[in-house]
């Protein structure tokens, strides 16, 4: 970002906001779609292998996401810290924060890999049968080797996003997808002519591990050779020793941030684990529906990332007015696009589900879950973008409290009550997987409304303080 970024004319505020947000949002969108395509490829391939493998993928993915996303959230504290340092033009200090984040990533990788290698709590919650449990264990063991690479790349991604350079991240993510696609196909179905056996869902995990480590190696080479990184002084002195003050700053921000993301993700990941109790077909249908809405989620995620970067840099540069305008415009833009996307998918849901599977039982299980997709997606966009903008201000504790109440309380707790008819008088239309999806939609509406209102209140207070 050049020195004159914060002094541009503002006679057309909406046009100016779009011009700032779009160049940062579209590479994030493509990159994150590439990341999600890992799961989409796995879902499409495994759905053609067997319903048991697809159910194991749903449970295994829920376990992996629970571990990875929570730890990734802790590392995401790097982005607002570096963003504000970037805005203040303290580039060597931003580089020092990257070194400290690497120590955090390595510590989390040790713990997370152990949890994935011994997934007994997740298997107990899902009450998986012996065949499914064996498949889940094999899949998660492969992902235990992938997790360290994923967390290290999270540091790289967070740093590049914060300094306004998401395109290089996008290129690396697309490159990893190019490795993942043929390797997954070969390992899931086998290549008899080469002596490669059909590994089913475990093959997906192995392919992910190979692709992620290749991606990390490529990221290291880029940072070593690209002169863009020289002002940050990332190399030439080895890895900095852990510093209590820097680590404390990252953890004070990262732990509640990671908690928020963990609550958000487990609110949906545990749906798969509980739905697995209903049988193979319901959880297979849920896996298709959740993969589709996850693909749609990449749009608000991209807008939120772009908005957060711009707001953090504006705060660091001391331009509070610009920070407020970009944050609020990003929220309105994301919700508007989400309304269009949600409506299109709602009306086209039957042919879209047909892309995933032609199994009539699985299709029948998936289609009712998408009845709420339009409202679900708009509310998801609102809560995501509002939370990202608040992170740019280093406000993370209140959002975590909101997530606990809305996504665990209303969403997961309410869904469990409906799905398993705990009260004894739940209508049949809201029992089973449909109950979870109805309650999750309601929880997202609560979270989106509360976070947007809180963001408005924060901006109002800052505007008053600036007068």
For residue 6, what pLDDT is reported? 46
Sequence-separated (6 or more) residues with CB below 8 Å from residue 249: 81
- Whether pLDDT at 76 is above 70: yes
Phi (first) and psi of residue 191, to 5 degrees: -130, 90
> In the prediction, which pLDDT does 125 show?
72
pLDDT higher than 60, residue 446: yes
Q: Which residue has the higher pLDDT, 216 or 369?
A: 216
Please tell me the predicted confidence (pLDDT) of residue 324: 93
Determine the average pLDDT of the residues in 384-389. 95
Q: Residue 2: is it exposed, middle or buried by C-beta count within 10 angstroms (0-12/13-18/19+)?
A: exposed
CA 360/CA 350 separation, integer angstroms: 11
Q: What is the structure's pLDDT at 381?
A: 95
φ/ψ region of 8 (left if φ > 0, alpha if ψ in -120 to 50, else beta) reads beta
Asked if residue 4 has pLDDT above 50, the reply is no
The tokens of 45 are what? 């391939």
Measure the CA–CA gap between 331 and 349, rounded to whole angstroms. 26
pLDDT at position 280 is 79
Per-residue burial over 124-144, b if 16 or more Cβ lie within 10 Å, else e, is: ebbebeeebbebbbbbbbbbb
**Burial classification of residue 111, based on how many CB atoms lie within 10 Å of its CB (0-12 exposed, 13-18 middle, 19 or more buried):** exposed
Within 10 angstroms of residue 230's Cβ, the number of other Cβ atoms is 12
267 contacts: CB under 8 Å, gap ≥ 6: 403, 407, 408, 411, 412, 440, 443
Over residues 231-242, the pLDDT tens digits come to: 999 988 789 999
pLDDT at 5 over 80: no
- Can you spell out the DSSP letters for 185-254? HHHHH-BGGGTB---THHHHHHHHHHHHHHHHHHHHHHHHH-GGGGGGT-SSS-SPPP-HHHHHHHHHHH
pLDDT at 465: 83
Percent of the chain with pLDDT over 70: 98
431: left (phi over 0), alpha (psi -120 to 50) or beta: beta
| CA 157 vs CA 135, 160, 352, 418: distances in Å | 31, 5, 31, 39
pLDDT band at 10 (very low <50, low <70, confident <90, very high): very low
Query: Among 23-37, 96-110, 276-290, which range has the highest average pLDDT?
Result: 96-110
Interval 260-297: pLDDT, tens: 888 887 787 788 778 888 887 887 888 788 888 888 88
Partner residues linked to 191 by β-bridges:
196
Whether 372 has a pLDDT exceeding 90, the answer reads: no
Over residues 201-207, mean pLDDT = 92
Continuous H helices in 393-432: 397-403, 414-419
Helix (H) / strand (E) element for 339: namely: helix 320-347
pLDDT at residue 41, rounded to an integer: 84
Q: Can you give the pLDDT at residue 215?
A: 97
What's the pLDDT at 187? 93
Task: Kindly state the average pLDDT of the residues 444-453.
Answer: 96
Q: What are the tens digits of pLDDT across the range 347-369? A: 988 898 888 888 888 888 888 88
**pLDDT-based confidence at residue 385 (cuts at 50, 70, 90):** very high
Residue 92 gets which letter from DSSP? H
- The pair of structure tokens assigned to 243 is 């510093």
- Nearby residues of 428 by Cβ (< 8 Å), 6 or more positions away: none
In the three-class reduction of DSSP (H, G, I as helix; E, B as strand; rest coil), residue 398 is classed as: helix
Quick one: 15 exposed, middle or buried, by C-beta within 10 A (0-12, 13-18, 19+)?
exposed
């Amino acid at each position: 970002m050049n020195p004159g970024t914060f002094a541009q004319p503002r006679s057309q505020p909406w046009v100016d906001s779009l011009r700032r947000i779009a160049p940062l949002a579209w590479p994030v969108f493509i990159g994150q779609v590439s990341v999600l395509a890992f799961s989409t490829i796995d879902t499409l391939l495994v759905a053609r292998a067997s319903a048991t493998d697809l159910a194991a993928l749903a449970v295994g993915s829920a376990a992996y996401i629970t571990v990875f996303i929570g730890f990734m959230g802790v590392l995401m504290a790097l982005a607002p810290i570096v963003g504000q340092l970037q805005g203040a033009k303290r580039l060597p200090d931003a580089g020092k924060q990257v070194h400290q984040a690497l120590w955090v990533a390595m510590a989390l990788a040790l713990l997370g890999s152990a949890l994935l290698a011994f997934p007994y709590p997740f298997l107990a919650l899902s009450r998986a049968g012996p065949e499914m449990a064996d498949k889940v264990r094999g899949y998660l063991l492969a992902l235990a080797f992938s997790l360290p690479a994923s967390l290290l790349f999270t540091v790289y991604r967070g740093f590049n996003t914060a300094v306004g350079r998401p395109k290089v991240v996008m290129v690396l993510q697309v490159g990893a997808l190019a490795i993942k696609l043929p390797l997954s196909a070969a390992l899931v179905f086998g290549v008899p002519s080469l002596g490669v056996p059909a590994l089913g869902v475990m093959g997906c995990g192995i392919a992910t591990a190979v692709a992620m480590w290749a991606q990390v190696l490529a990221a290291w080479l880029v940072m070593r050779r690209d002169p863009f990184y020289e002002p940050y002084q990332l190399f030439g002195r080895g890895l900095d020793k852990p510093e209590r003050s820097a680590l404390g700053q990252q953890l004070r921000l990262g732990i509640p941030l990671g908690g928020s993301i963990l609550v958000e993700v487990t609110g949906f990941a545990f749906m798969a684990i509980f739905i697995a109790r209903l049988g193979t077909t319901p959880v297979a249908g849920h896996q298709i529906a959740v993969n589709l809405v996850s693909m749609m989620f990449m749009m608000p995620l991209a807008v939120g990332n772009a908005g957060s970067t711009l707001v953090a840099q504006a705060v660091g540069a001391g331009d509070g007015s610009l920070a407020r305008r970009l944050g609020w415009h990003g929220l309105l833009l994301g919700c508007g696009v989400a309304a269009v996307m949600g409506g299109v998918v709602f009306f086209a849901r039957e042919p879209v589900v047909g892309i995933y599977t032609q199994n009539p039982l699985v299709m029948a299980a998936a289609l009712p879950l998408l009845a709420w997709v339009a409202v679900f997606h708009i509310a998801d966009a609102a809560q995501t973008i509002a939370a990202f903008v608040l992170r740019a201000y280093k406000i993370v504790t209140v959002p975590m409290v909101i997530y606990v109440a809305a996504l665990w309380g209303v969403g997961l707790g309410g869904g469990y009550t409906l799905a398993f008819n705990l009260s004894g008088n739940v209508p049949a239309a809201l029992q089973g997987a449909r109950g979870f999806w109805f309650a999750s939609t309601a929880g997202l509406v609560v979270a989106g409304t509360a976070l947007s209102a809180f963001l408005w209140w924060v901006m109002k207070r800052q505007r008053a303080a600036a007068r």
